[in-house]
């Protein structure tokens, strides 16, 4: 660019506006260099150039996106500079009446492809060769610049040179060329910004040092010093050569010796600043040296471009950001050379070399370079604004607002140069960004974006904690007592349905024994890998050296932050309680009572034994200690809200209403065990329970609910809405389809059947709960069968005593709670009759009361869930969680 287009820039923009173009470019580069220096001195640098800098500052999404754009821009810039070399060579051959094919595009393609191949070979050999080549080329460039300045100062040495437009330094020529003279050239009408777009790639070497940061001994020191020195020399050289061109040469010249009006041939003159790209050879003291300088400048820049791109692509592949680039991550030799990357950059560069038009390529890459410069400035602004702890750059001569100004300046220039190209660049950038965002690569680089997320998260938690809670913003936040990773996968599956959107779970692992640090880390890693693989919104917490009762008390009191704390406890059903020790049974019961006393809702999930995995599924053998598989104070009075209407219809007590027989006044309808109202499509009563249960005769696998799956919700009493809200959430979030939800309701008091149906349906419609059937439970007051009583006595036989006890069942307690037990036995018969073929049963969980032993409480749960499909017991804490 220095020798090929600076004279054309002066011809179009004039000396004044050429200086403005150089000044704006310089401002952009100086601001970017300040930002770049701050980033480079903030920690240790590795290979990857701009990608490494941006990704470690702003995160993988932005870093990878700008890295790809910058790599593409550099590959195309290598083509552009090679075309410049070929154009100069073609002019030389043309002046000697020589050519390869056509002294034009075809010659450019042939010579350019060979030049690119040789330069790629030099870069692939190693940095030593490239450095030696660059030193040789820079010597030629400095000599050529000096040769040009000397020739321009001495003036023309022949009449032929004067006729071709080189008239020597003069005030008149300076005045004539001071203002712009924009013309039609290279297929378009030019203006200030189109000329700027052609010039700007000449100063894109500002990132040359950053591109090879992994190969520098002390990049934190070398990059700022080298970049500023190179920038100062470059801007000074361009200003000097632009001023000399405008003050010593004509815009148009006929080339005819003795022509009194040398520019009389306008606008079709063959010579002059507008028409002859080789006028600098004419103005030089020794013209062949200008050819050498032009070749050295173009090839030197092309070498820099070709050297940086493979390392950037290699870094992207090594970080596994884009799958297609992993192939290029392989390193060769002791220095880890990216040979595969050289092949890629050669192919891309040769592809754009075929265009063979320098002015057509320059605007193409200007937007890409400006985009990368904008992101570098934004990196510094972002890091300085959010001030992460690791933001401690050694370079102090930067300013947060100057970096922001540089970012906005780059974006503005992009738009005014070509809004179409700016939009295209933005579209490509956003596409690359979203691709990385979708893939979610595993990166943890401590970027300022991570710091921003952390600060915003803490701020939002504080705001939520300080804000008055509202029913409409309620989310079930779970404490899942799942134990060791892999021990109870069904609990995590169910919790995953509940927290799939907008909520979270804390998975508790209570370990009575003392674990070593490696053992704790092993468990944590296993758990987090499992959650990531299953896409669970879960946090794993291990509590050691606590027994299970102490552990649950600790979690109930300290788990979570502010209002971002568990409000629902989910634990597994203790299926072996009838044969376990009294101590273990009492511990399990106390865990449930503690959850209630601390104001939590409680859910207990039981899956049939044929759905639980065998022992080999467990993550590790169980120790000698048996893990009692994992809800509220006294119930508050009903709230005076729309929800309180449910209390007038539903039982607000966990005790089934037993004072009066559960009979409804018939309204010319035969009394049956169940009264059914079908709101949508009826479910065939002939549906085979056997076929449904046979699917559960296998080893455990994830719940796979779909639209034909049936969930039966037994809404026996009001608890604030939790026992209707959780099943509704599960039904709506089961994979991609909603489950069929049937609701079995138990109204309160003596009501006509139709009236009760209408009241319950009205409540559900007010809550906007979708269901397929609404069923009123009848026949609960009938006596259970003898077989049901035999079953009850068999499960409590190992847990009896003579006097009242917190754990064991006494004869006195059995007599006192005989009526309740009778109703639960009858409820079991109704469950088997109506829900045995369901895919999931959601049942209201009884409340733990003083004077109720662990044995009788567990017996009630066993009665309702034994030999049933997966059953989820749910009990709220009487706090309203659902509203109209």
Q: Which CATH number belongs to the domain containing residue 427 in this structure?
A: 1.20.1740.10
Residue 625 lies in a domain: no
Report the share of the chain in percent with pLDDT over 70. Answer: 86
Most confident by average pLDDT, 259-263, 446-450, 652-656, 783-787: 783-787
Residue 215 has pLDDT above 60, yes or no: yes
Q: Are 628 and 588 in contact (CB under 8 A)?
A: yes
Q: Are 33 and 228 in contact (CB under 8 A)?
A: yes
Residue 531 lies in a domain: yes
Q: 600, 617, 634 — which closes off a domain? A: 617
In whole angstroms, what is the distance from residue 369 CA to residue 359 CA? 16
Say whether both 59 and 102 belong to one domain: yes
Say whether both 654 and 610 belong to one domain: no
Say whether both 390 and 518 belong to one domain: no
pLDDT tier at 208 (50, 70, 90 boundaries)? low
For helices 448-466 and 358-386, the axis angle rounded to 10 degrees is: 40
Residue 628 lies in a domain: no
pLDDT score at 334: 80
Q: 439, 460, 493 — which closes off a domain? A: 439
Beta strands (DSSP E) in 26-164 are: none
What are the angstrom distances between the C-alpha of 518 and each of 109, 506, 522, 523, 716?
A: 62, 22, 6, 9, 48
Residue 699 has pLDDT above 70, yes or no: no
Residue 627 lies in a domain: no
309 three-state secondary structure: helix
Range(s) of the domain holding residue 140: 6-439
pLDDT score at 393: 86
Question: Residue 689, preceding bond cis, omega within 30 degrees?
Answer: no
Rg over alpha carbons for the chain, rounded to the nearest Å, is 40
pLDDT in tens, 98-121: 888 888 889 999 999 999 999 998
Residue 449 lies in a domain: no
Say whether both 610 and 650 belong to one domain: no
Say whether both 492 and 434 belong to one domain: no
Q: Are 221 and 229 in contact (CB under 8 A)?
A: no
Residue 262 lies in a domain: yes
Residue 693 has pLDDT above 80, yes or no: no
* Residues contacting residue 703 through CB under 8 Å, at least 6 positions apart: 490, 493, 494, 497, 734, 840, 870
Q: Are 796 and 860 in contact (CB under 8 A)?
A: no
Say whether both 275 and 318 belong to one domain: yes
Say whether both 539 and 426 belong to one domain: no
In whole angstroms, what is the distance from residue 356 CA to residue 417 CA? 22
CATH number assigned to the domain comprising residue 507: 3.40.50.620
pLDDT in tens, 723-759: 888 888 888 875 566 888 898 888 766 667 778 788 8
pLDDT score at 613: 56
Say whether both 99 and 220 belong to one domain: yes
pLDDT score at 202: 79
Say whether both 599 and 665 belong to one domain: no
Q: 617, 652, 669 — which closes off a domain? A: 617
Residue 633 lies in a domain: no
Say whether both 481 and 583 belong to one domain: yes
Residue 871 has pLDDT above 50, yes or no: yes
> Is 222 buried (19+), middle (13-18) or exposed (0-12) by CB count in 10 A?
middle
Q: What are the tokens at 247?
A: 């003050």
| Number of structural domains in the chain | 3
In whole angstroms, what is the distance from residue 763 CA to residue 641 CA? 12
Run of H or E residues at 427: helix 419-439
Say whether both 602 and 656 belong to one domain: no
Lowest mean pLDDT among 653-662, 754-763, 835-844: 653-662
pLDDT tier at 213 (50, 70, 90 boundaries)? low
Say whether both 661 and 776 belong to one domain: yes
Lowest mean pLDDT among 216-220, 400-404, 548-552: 216-220
Residue 452 lies in a domain: no
In whole angstroms, what is the distance from residue 783 CA to residue 775 CA? 21
Q: Are 79 and 299 in contact (CB under 8 A)?
A: no
């Amino acid at each position: 660019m220095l020798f090929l287009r600076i004279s054309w820039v002066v011809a179009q923009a004039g000396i004044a506006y050429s200086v403005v173009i150089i000044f704006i470019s310089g401002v952009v580069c100086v601001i970017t260099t300040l930002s770049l220096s701050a980033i480079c001195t903030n920690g240790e640098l590795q290979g990857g150039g701009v990608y490494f800098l941006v990704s470690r500052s702003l995160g993988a999404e932005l870093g990878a996106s700008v890295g790809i754009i910058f790599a593409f821009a550099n590959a195309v810039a290598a083509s552009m500079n090679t075309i410049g070399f070929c154009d100069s060579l073609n002019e030389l051959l043309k002046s000697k009446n020589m050519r390869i094919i056509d002294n034009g595009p075809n010659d450019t393609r042939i010579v350019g492809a060979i030049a690119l191949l040789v330069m790629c070979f030099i870069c692939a050999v190693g940095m030593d060769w490239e450095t030696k080549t660059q030193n040789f080329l820079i010597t030629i460039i400095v000599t050529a610049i000096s040769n040009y300045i000397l020739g321009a100062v001495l003036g023309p040495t022949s009449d032929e040179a004067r006729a071709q437009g080189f008239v020597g330094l003069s005030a008149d020529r300076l005045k004539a060329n001071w203002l712009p003279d924009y013309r039609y050239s290279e297929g378009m009408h030019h203006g200030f910004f189109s000329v700027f777009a052609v010039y700007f790639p000449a100063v894109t070497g500002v990132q040359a040092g950053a591109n090879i940061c992994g190969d520098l001994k002390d990049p934190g020191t070398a990059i700022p010093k080298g970049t500023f020195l190179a920038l100062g020399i470059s801007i000074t050289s361009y200003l000097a050569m632009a001023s000399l061109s405008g003050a010593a040469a004509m815009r148009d010249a006929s080339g005819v010796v003795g022509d009194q009006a040398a520019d009389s041939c306008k606008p079709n003159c063959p010579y002059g600043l507008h028409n002859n790209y080789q006028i600098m050879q004419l103005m030089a003291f020794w013209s062949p040296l200008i050819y050498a300088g032009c070749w050295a400048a173009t090839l030197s820049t092309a070498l820099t471009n070709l050297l940086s791109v493979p390392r950037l692509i290699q870094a992207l592949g090594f970080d596994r950001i884009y799958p297609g680039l992993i192939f290029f991550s392989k390193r060769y030799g002791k220095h880890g050379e990216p040979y595969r990357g050289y092949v890629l950059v050669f192919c891309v560069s040769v592809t754009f070399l075929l265009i063979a038009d320098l002015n057509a390529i320059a605007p193409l890459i200007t937007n890409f370079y400006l985009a990368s410069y904008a992101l570098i400035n934004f990196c510094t602004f972002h890091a300085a604004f959010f001030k992460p702890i690791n933001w401690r750059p050694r370079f102090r001569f930067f300013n947060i607002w100057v970096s922001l100004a540089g970012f906005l300046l780059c974006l503005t220039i992009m738009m005014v140069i070509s809004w179409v190209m700016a939009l295209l660049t933005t579209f490509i950038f956003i596409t690359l960004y979203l691709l990385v965002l979708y893939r979610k690569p595993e990166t943890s680089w401590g970027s300022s974006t991570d710091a921003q997320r952390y600060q915003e998260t803490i701020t939002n938690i504080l705001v939520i904690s300080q804000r008055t809670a509202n029913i409409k913003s309620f989310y079930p936040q779970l404490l899942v007592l799942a134990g060791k990773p892999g021990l109870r996968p069904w609990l995590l599956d169910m919790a995953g349905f509940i927290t799939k959107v907008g909520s979270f779970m804390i998975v508790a692992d209570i370990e009575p024994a003392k674990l070593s640090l490696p053992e704790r880390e092993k468990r944590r890693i296993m758990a987090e890998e499992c959650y990531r693989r299953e896409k669970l919104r879960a946090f794993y917490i291990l509590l050691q050296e606590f027994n299970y009762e102490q552990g649950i008390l600790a979690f109930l009191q300290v788990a979570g932050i502010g209002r971002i704390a568990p409000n629902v406890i989910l634990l597994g059903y203790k299926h072996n309680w009838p044969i376990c020790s009294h101590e273990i049974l009492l511990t399990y019961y106390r865990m449930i009572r503690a959850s209630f006393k601390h104001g939590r809702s409680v859910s207990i999930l039981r899956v049939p034994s044929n759905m639980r995995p065998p022992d080999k599924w467990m993550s590790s053998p169980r120790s000698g200690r048996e893990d009692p598989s994992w809800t509220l104070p006294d119930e508050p009075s009903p709230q005076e809200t729309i929800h309180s209407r449910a209390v007038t219809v539903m039982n607000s007590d966990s005790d089934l209403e037993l004072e009066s027989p559960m009979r409804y006044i018939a309204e010319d309808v035969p009394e049956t065990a169940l009264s059914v109202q079908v709101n949508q499509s009826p479910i065939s009563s002939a549906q085979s329970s056997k076929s449904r249960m046979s699917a559960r005769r296998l080893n455990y696998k994830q719940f796979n609910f779909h639209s034909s799956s049936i969930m039966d919700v037994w809404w026996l009493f009001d608890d604030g809405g939790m026992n209707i809200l959780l099943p509704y959430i599960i039904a709506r979030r089961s994979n991609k389809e909603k489950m069929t939800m049937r609701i079995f309701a138990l109204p309160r008091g003596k009501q006509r059947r139709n009236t009760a149906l209408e009241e319950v349906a009205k409540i559900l419609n007010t809550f906007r709960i979708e269901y397929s059937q609404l069923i009123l439970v009848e026949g609960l007051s009938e006596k259970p069968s003898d077989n049901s009583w035999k079953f009850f006595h068999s499960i409590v036989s190992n847990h009896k005593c003579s006097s009242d006890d917190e754990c064991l069942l006494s004869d006195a307690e059995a007599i006192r709670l005989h009526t309740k037990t009778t109703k639960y036995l009858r409820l079991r018969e109704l469950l088997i009759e109506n829900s045995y073929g369901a895919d999931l049963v959601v049942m209201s969980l009884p409340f733990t009361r003083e004077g109720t032993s662990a044995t009788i409480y567990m017996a009630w749960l066993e009665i309702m869930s034994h030999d049933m499909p997966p059953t989820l017991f749910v009990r709220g804490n009487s706090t309203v969680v659902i509203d109209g």
